[in-house]
Amino acid sequence: MFLTTLVLILPWLLLVLLVVRILGLDDTLYRKLNQKPKTKTSYKNVNIVITGGSAGIGATLAQQYASMGANLVLGARNLSNLESVKEKCLNLGASTCHVFELDVSSEESCKKFIENAVNALKEIHILILNAGIGMKKRFDECENLDQHKKLMDVNFWGAVYPTHYALPHMKLSSRNNVDVIKRPKIAVVSSMSGKFSPPLRTAYVSSKHAVNGFFHSLRIEMKGKIDVTILCPPHVYTDFQANSFGAEKGVIREKSKFITPEQFASIAIDAIEWGVAEELVNTKGRASRILALLPTFLSDKIISETSKASAVVQQ
């Protein structure tokens, strides 16, 4: 009798669980259960290191953390822009803000940056790996593979190098007087292109797939010691698209297809605090899980059309 009932119920139970996962209802339930009163969280005494902090998502994250009193270390190649972001962060209420020149494609630069961060803050509680570059070009139009190598150096190794040098310090972090986080946290800004494969992005897609694979593996290795969060935003309205390889003549963007960096930063900060494994940001992002269940011809069409709608390269 029990086995007969189980056989009848199990397919329906699996179907319900599948729908819950595809629509991200499990994530939604987790957030509801862990939701805090709607007061601004204090990040006083929390030490946060952000790569790619001179503009766009990185600068916006820094400013939102600053408004909550965090101690910040920001790194990027453009020191002038970093100084400008630093001034804004201090005006917004950052307890401290240090900036250092950083080329994430250089292992030595990343090593020195983490050393500078540890010297400035003594401990690293949250490491946010945000530096990256994009690409909008057909593979058969590439004269050589220099840009592919560059994207892998910046997007993949530019996240792995700082992690490698920060990890020993983060594992020893005492987090004295830090109540807002239970354990140290690493967050990497990846992309929906790390989950799917839109055209004109062979280099970008491969670098982000590598990022997702590496940090999901690291997340399991560090379970219970350091939280690892992979952030996979949809299109965010920054200068990122215009600065991509292949977009030298500019891009045409439909703003309604994008979220603002402020919207993304707010969601990212909550996901990092809660220790979410993978943040797909919004309902559209979470619903995209269904693409893996569709016939290839249909998922290819949806991915291609979505890609074209976000930013068209001018000819």
Catalytic residue among 43, 65, 161, 204: 204
Strand positions, DSSP E, the chain? 47-51, 71-76, 96-101, 126-129, 185-189, 227-231, 251-253, 278-279, 311-313
DSSP conformation letters of 141-157: G-SSSHHHHHHIIIIII
In angstroms, the Cα distances linking 279 to 93, 102, 229 are 27, 26, 7
237 is catalytic: no
Rg value, the chain, Cα = 20
Q: What is the DSSP string of 189-224?
A: E--GGGTS--TT-HHHHHHHHHHHHHHHHHHHHTTT
Beta-bridged to residue 279, according to DSSP, are 231
- Residues with a known catalytic role: 204
